[in-house]
Amino acid sequence: MSLQQEIIERFNVQAQIDPVAEIRKRVDFLKQYVKQAGTTGLLIAISGGIDSAVAAGLCKQATDELAAETGQPYMTLGVFQPYGEQVDIADSYAVAEAFQLKHTIETNIEDAVNEIALEVEQSFKHMNNPRHLSIPGKGNVKARIRMVTQYALAFDLNLLVVGTDHASEALTGFYTKWGDGAVDITPLASLNKRQVRQLASHLNVPSSVIDKAPTAGLWEGQTDEKELGITYEHNSDYLEGKVVPDDVREKIEQQYRKTEHKRSPIPGI
């Protein structure tokens, strides 16, 4: 079996999907886990990108159905987490409006991130190695502060934290790993990026969100494809078992091997 086939089986990616059936399956998955966990709903951080928009749509449908079926209040809490001024924050609010989210909040992470960066830089100075925290390093602090904030909210509101991770991100290790705080549930798992887009169209995600370049918002101008050097078209082709150029295959598989620690449970002896 080729490495490509092993990866496809590991992530359970299908070569073709029925978007309507996938939406139904994933909404039911969320409903079942919410009931099993005994929580009052779901928390989803809405970045303004397509992954969180699709996850938000699934969450809202799940909690609406649970409330209708049980007569009990269930919520989907949409959280906006800019760092200072976020140029595309309007897309986050557009997603919340499209799905008629009743519960939304904005938690600006700028002060918390800058305070941590300052403390780290003071530590560097005490080590006789004065320097600024690197741009990628500060980007990772942003990701982790976002998760800390989500879990602080989720704990007191008895919610599950929903992740936006999917197979295209698992393939490259570009997702919320254990060290970032992880998440409670990932309803997009086993979908590649192309398939997430298919669900987005059926869920009526705003076109401004569907058409934008994927980014984790870690620093200005950062995009997933630029950082990885791999397009999501090639990534999705690979996960669907299609032939991709040899240099692309090599890059994908090298990235996969390099990031295995992100997909593995925390080791111990």
pLDDT in tens, 110-123: 999 999 999 999 99
Phi, psi of 74 (to 5 degrees): -125, 140
pLDDT of residue 154: 98
Q: What is the mean pLDDT of residues 75-79?
A: 98
Distances (CA, A) of 234 to 13, 246, 260: 15, 11, 20
| Choice between 172 and 224, residue whose per-residue pLDDT is larger | 172
Range scoring the smallest mean pLDDT among 81-95, 176-190, 210-224: 210-224
pLDDT of residue 178: 64
End-to-end CA distance of the chain: give it in Å, rounded: 31
The answer to whether residue 181 scores a pLDDT higher than 70 is no
Catalytic residues: 51, 169
pLDDT of residue 182: 83
pLDDT in tens, 188-237: 999 999 999 999 999 999 988 887 766 555 556 656 666 677 888 999 99
What is the CATH code for 3-107+159-261? 3.40.50.620
Q: What is the mean pLDDT of residues 52-61?
A: 98
The answer to whether residue 67 scores a pLDDT higher than 70 is yes
Cα angle at 235 between 230 and 236, to 5 degrees? 150
pLDDT of residue 222: 59
Q: What is the mean pLDDT of residues 255-267?
A: 86
Euclidean distance between CA atoms 163 and 106, whole angstroms: 18
Range scoring the smallest mean pLDDT among 7-16, 44-53, 54-63, 164-173: 164-173
- Domain extent listing, the chain: 3-107+159-261
pLDDT of residue 210: 83
Strand, helix or coil for residue 161: strand
Q: Which residues contact 41 (CB under 8 A, 6 or more apart)?
A: 34, 63, 74, 75, 76, 77, 157, 158, 159, 160
pLDDT in tens, 23-43: 999 999 999 999 999 999 999
Q: What is the mean pLDDT of residues 54-78?
A: 98
Euclidean distance between CA atoms 157 and 168, whole angstroms: 31
